[in-house]
Amino acid sequence: MPGRMRSSDTSVVDGAIFQDIARLRVFCFHTVMGEGELTSTQSLVILALNGDEGCKQGDLARALGIRPVTLGGVVDRMEAKAWIERRADKDDRRANRIYLTDEGRALVQRVQHCLDQVNEVALKDVPARKLNEFFKVLTQIQRNLREFQIDVDK
């Protein structure tokens, strides 16, 4: 029957599962955080800077798996909201370093709380004994895909 997926076609199913999980996590995050307040990408920037404040914009893009041009737009919008600020790198005039402002630091706990709630929803009824192996597998998948992205971007 045209348009029907065969049960043996796992590559299509696997890809759809990953995309659907990502979409649903973003939906859940926006529901918990409040629509229009802070995007899921902005929340990742906030948390990354909380752990590595003053990092170069290019390094932040690589750490988040986001293209530098895409991150530039995110940083522009966050800077306009006074959550972060760019400062010129003292050693490299072409580079910017990104810092949280006081307003940005005030968001850290709220963002972490929202992500904890998203994880609570997502991992409900998943046995704790299976999570360690599950996260090891996901980390390897992420590593493989990032290596591919790095190779393509060269």
- Tens digit of each residue's pLDDT (9 = 90 or more) over 16-63: 888 899 999 999 999 999 877 899 999 999 999 998 899 998 899 988
Residue 135 identity: F
pLDDT at 71 over 60: yes
Q: The pTM is what? A: 0.79
Instruction: State how far the Cα of 21 lies from the Cα of 8, in Å rounded to an integer.
Output: 21
Contact status, residue 65 vs residue 75, Cβ threshold 8 Å:
no
Helix (H) or strand (E) holding 96: strand 96-100
97 in helix, strand or coil? strand
- pLDDT band of residue 1 (cuts 50, 70, 90) is very low
Write the pLDDT tens digit of every residue in 90-146. Answer: 988 888 899 999 999 999 999 999 999 999 999 999 998 899 898 999 999 989 988
CA atoms within 13 A on the CB side of 35: 2
Of 77, 5, 72, the residue nearest 37 (C-alpha): 77
In sequence order, the β-bridge partners of residue 56 are 97
Query: What is residue 13's predicted lDDT score, i.e. its pLDDT?
Result: 59
Q: How many Å apart are CA 56 and CA 70, to the nearest integer?
A: 15
